[in-house]
């Protein structure tokens, strides 16, 4: 039985708003993401889910509201600083680093690489070589687990859609995340792969990673998510377990009701 998240949630936001030329995409979203759990962010199309993820990860600035990672306020921090605190994300439409190989995509992720400093590049090649070998070994292991080992030397732009989805998650895993925001990790992939990705997410949870995922497939939500946040018209409509939310008439009307996957018109 999962209790309501405490004040020390891994990720917390209050009154987030964001308008695009007068249209309020997010209008006061507020929620806590419990630490070490898998939380689903659901809601009809246009509810502002991706915008919320963009704001939480620093890819986009919000107009007002506050965001906290643990106890640290990170409102409108740039995304590279948020990433330093261990929050990483994937994108709804896969954004692979196309010109890099699959392995290089993963090798981009680790923080604090000695080889990113010119002084080390010029004077400490041994240190870089050692670190590169360690990172490459770990990256190849991650690729192995994610079924991409065979494609390690393939330029990422040549992967299929499903493989790119896996690469996105693998790359985020390579960054050793504490909090992972997954924007529709299972959209447009075949059922077998959905099962696979679901397994990876549960595995991440077991290793202590806090996961927030946008997901439309309620079967998936039911099976792997501990906690659900319903967003509608940019506001947090309800939070809780899916079974509880099914009883909530507002939620049913906004999302669960007639149409499940396509997202109702509103």
Partner 1 sequence: MVYYIFTLVFFCFDYFILAMGLNIEYGETGILNFAYIGFVAIGAYFTGVFSLHSAANSGQHYILGLGLPFPINLLLGGIATMAFALIVALITLRRLRTDYLAIVLISLSLVLYDFCNNFVSIFNGADGLYNVPEPYAKAFGLTVNSFIPFFACVTALISLLMWFVMSRVTRAPMGRTFRAIRDDQVVAAALGKNVFRMQLKSMLIGSFYAGIGGGLLIQFGGSFNPTAWLPGETFVIFAVLIVGGAGNNIGMFVGALLVETLLIHLPAFLPEIPGHPGLIEYFDNAVVGIVLMLMLWFRPQGVVPAGIRRAATFGVVERDHDSSLPTSTEMPLLSSGVGNE
Of residues 54-93, which lie at the interface with partner 1 (CB under 8 A)?
Answer: 57-59, 78-80, 83-84, 88-89, 91
Q: How far apart are CA 240 and CA 65, in angstroms?
A: 22
Q: How far is the CB of 235 from partner 1 (least distance, A)?
A: 26
How many residues bind partner 1 (CB under 8 A)? The answer is: 72
Q: Which of 200, 227, 228, 230 binds partner 1 (CB under 8 A)?
A: 200
Q: How far apart are CA 175 and CA 109, in angstroms?
A: 5
Q: How far is the CB of 195 from partner 1 (least distance, A)?
A: 5
* Residues 233-262 interacting with partner 1 (rule: CB under 8 A): 261
Question: How many residues make up the chain in this entry?
Answer: 266
The half-sphere exposure of 103 on its side-chain side, counting CA atoms within 13 A, is 16
- Indicate the residue among 2 and 202 with the shorter CB distance to partner 1: 202
Q: How far is the CB of 116 from partner 1 (least distance, A)?
A: 5
Q: How far is the CB of 73 from partner 1 (least distance, A)?
A: 19
* Residues 140-199 interacting with partner 1 (rule: CB under 8 A): 140, 144-153, 155, 171, 175, 186, 191-192, 194-196, 198-199
Give residues with Cβ within 8 angstroms of 238, minimum separation 6: 229, 230, 245, 248, 250, 251
Q: How far is the CB of 48 from partner 1 (least distance, A)?
A: 19
Q: What tokens does 205 get?
A: 């949870």
Q: Which helix (H) or strand (E) holds 69?
A: strand 64-69
* Residues 10-49 interacting with partner 1 (rule: CB under 8 A): none
Q: What phi, psi does 86 have (nearest 5°)?
A: 100, 10
- Indicate the residue among 152 and 246 with the shorter CB distance to partner 1: 152
Q: Are 65 and 75 in contact (CB under 8 A)?
A: yes
Give residues with Cβ within 8 angstroms of 146, minimum separation 6: 166, 167, 169, 170, 173, 200
* Residues 91-110 interacting with partner 1 (rule: CB under 8 A): 91, 95, 97-101, 103-104, 107-109
Q: How far is the CB of 14 from partner 1 (least distance, A)?
A: 23
- Indicate the residue among 113 and 248 with the shorter CB distance to partner 1: 113
* Residues 215-234 interacting with partner 1 (rule: CB under 8 A): 217, 219-220, 223-224
Q: How far apart are CA 231 and CA 256, in angstroms?
A: 12
């Amino acid at each position: 039985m999962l209790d309501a998240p405490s004040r020390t949630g891994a990720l917390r936001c209050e009154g987030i708003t964001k308008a695009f030329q007068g249209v309020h995409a997010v209008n006061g979203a507020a929620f806590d993401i419990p630490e070490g759990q898998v939380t689903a962010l659901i809601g009809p199309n246009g509810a502002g889910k991706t915008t919320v993820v963009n704001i939480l990860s620093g890819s986009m600035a919000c107009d007002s509201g506050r965001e906290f990672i643990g106890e640290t306020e990170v409102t409108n921090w740039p995304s590279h600083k948020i990433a330093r605190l261990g929050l990483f994300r994937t994108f709804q439409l896969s954004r692979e680093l196309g010109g890099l190989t699959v392995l290089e995509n993963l090798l981009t992720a680790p923080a604090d690489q000695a080889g990113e400093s010119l002084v080390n590049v010029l004077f400490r090649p041994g240190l870089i070589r050692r670190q590169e070998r360690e990172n490459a070994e770990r990256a190849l292991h991650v690729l192995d687990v994610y079924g991409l080992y065979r494609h390690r030397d393939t330029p990422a732009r040549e992967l299929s859609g499903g493989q790119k989805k896996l690469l996105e998650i693998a790359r985020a895993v390579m960054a050793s995340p504490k909090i992972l925001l997954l924007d529709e990790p299972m959209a447009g992939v075949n059922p077998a792969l959905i099962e696979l990705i679901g397994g990876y997410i549960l595995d991440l949870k077991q290793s202590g990673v806090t996961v927030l995922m946008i997901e439309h497939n309620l079967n998936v939500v039911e099976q792997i998510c501990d906690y659900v946040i319903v967003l509608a018209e940019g506001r947090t409509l309800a939070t809780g377990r899916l079974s509880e939310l099914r009883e909530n008439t507002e939620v049913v009307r906004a999302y669960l009701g007639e149409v499940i996957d396509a997202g109702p018109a509103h």
